[in-house]
Amino acid sequence: GIPALDIITKGLSVGMKIVGDKFEAAEIFLPQIMMSGKAMSNAMEVLTPELEKNKKAGEEAGLAITFVAEGDIHDIGHRLVTTMLGANGFQILDMGVDVLNEDVVEEAAKHKGEKVLLVGSALMTTSMLGQKDLMDRLREEDLRDSVKCMFGGAPVSDKWIDEIGADATAENAAEAAKVALVVMK
């Protein structure tokens, strides 16, 4: 009887944050991270159809093109944000993990003139640097003004977003959906 959105935001997300904090403090290790990720994936498989059922008919916030940066395969946060965006009225085009910036630019070009939000994730500092490259490429291809850009991941900060000229970031998946709706207005 608990709404799927509450299970995600008040249960699973909170649990994954605890797991991340414990890993950072060396209280747990990679096997526990992998088990937690698998549990999260299994739960999302059950909850995603429930979120879709509760999505209001005709509700469209725009197209969210989601991806994990080139060189990065960490997808738990990416999948959670993608699910939350879909539950909040976005049409989803999930490009997956380890996505080349050229492919993101190409996809953005295909949807020029539409209401588009690029949502990129990077868990590592090295893959986060690709976000700046993506912003530069969007400007070079005269696409920057036709899309909104939102980036997330552990190393991403408001300062970084300002530095690269993106539109937004968020602390977690639930906040990302709220911020995305504001960015797209």
Residues spanned by the domain of 132? 63-184
C-alpha triplet 35, 157, 41: angle, nearest 5°: 20
pTM confidence score: 0.80
Q: With beta carbons less than 8 A apart as the criterion, state whether 171 and 136 touch.
A: no
CATH code for the domain in which residue 68 is found: 3.40.50.280
> Do the domain assignments include residue 15?
yes
Of 93, 97, 82, 69, give the one whose Cα is nearest residue 177: 82
- 38 and 79 fall within a common domain: no
Domain count, the chain: 2
Q: pLDDT value at position 16?
A: 81
- 139 and 70 fall within a common domain: yes
Q: pLDDT value at position 121?
A: 95
- 118 and 98 fall within a common domain: yes
Q: How many helices (H) and strands (E) does the chain have?
A: 8, 4
> Do the domain assignments include residue 142?
yes
Q: What is the pLDDT of residues 128-176, one digit of tens each?
A: 999 999 999 999 999 999 999 999 998 999 999 999 999 999 988 878 9
Answer with the one of 35, 53, 71 that is the final residue of a domain. 53
Q: With beta carbons less than 8 A apart as the criterion, state whether 133 and 164 touch.
A: no
- 27 and 95 fall within a common domain: no
> Do the domain assignments include residue 58?
no
- 83 and 37 fall within a common domain: no
Of 86, 96, 109, 57, give the one whose Cα is nearest residue 176: 86
Q: pLDDT value at position 88?
A: 82
- 80 and 164 fall within a common domain: yes
- 76 and 157 fall within a common domain: yes
User: CA-to-CA distance for 13 and 94, rounded, in angstroms?
Assistant: 20
